Amino acid sequence: MVQQGHHLVLDAGDARVAGPGHRRRLELPEEPVTVLGDVERLHQVLTNRLDNARRHTPAGSTVVVRVGTRVREGRWVELSVSDDGPGISEELLPEIFERFVRADEGRSRASGGSGLGLAIVRAVALAHGGSVEVESKPGHTVFRVLLPRGEDSYPPG
């Protein structure tokens, strides 16, 4: 992802954050989609999701970054990061966006993973008038960040 003026442009370099041992796919629409917002914070959302995919999936996993619009709800831009890794436990899913929640309890703050990343992702999405959601089962996890399209509502209010 690169910043051009006030624009955020996704590129294949961002997908490489997922790790050298991972397969990566970038799926972008033919036509550009526009989200008004804070470029740095939106970039933080994407890099967090890619970093988590790298950390929590084994080498050889496929990580897919997809941008599109919701078909039935055309005013939303959807940014998703999915992987075919082991998934997130059902017990952890309801609290995954809370502060200090870590999927790998064995990881210390010194080795990475403070448990703030997904809370920040949710806060950024909400600050832009959007939302975040997750689906996970073994072999398929997807995080979707939904943001208002174009001039719809940034900043909210």
Backbone dihedral angles phi then psi of residue 28, each to the nearest 5 degrees:
-115, 150
Note the pLDDT of residue 2.
Answer: 38
Give the closest residue to 142 by CA, choosing from 59, 79, 61, 60.
Answer: 79
Note the pLDDT of residue 105.
Answer: 46
pLDDT tens digits in sequence order for the chain, 157 residues long: 433 345 555 554 554 555 668 888 889 888 888 888 898 999 899 988 888 888 889 999 999 999 988 756 668 899 999 999 999 999 999 889 888 776 654 333 444 556 788 999 999 999 999 999 999 999 999 999 999 887 544 444 4
Note the pLDDT of residue 111.
Answer: 40
Give the alpha-carbon dihedral of 104, 106, 109, 112, to 10 degrees: -60
Residue 60 CA to residue 92 CA, distance in Å, equals 24
Q: Which domains are delineated in the chain?
A: 2-139 (3.30.565.10)
Note the pLDDT of residue 53.
Answer: 87
**3-state SS assignment for residue 17:** helix
Note the pLDDT of residue 128.
Answer: 92
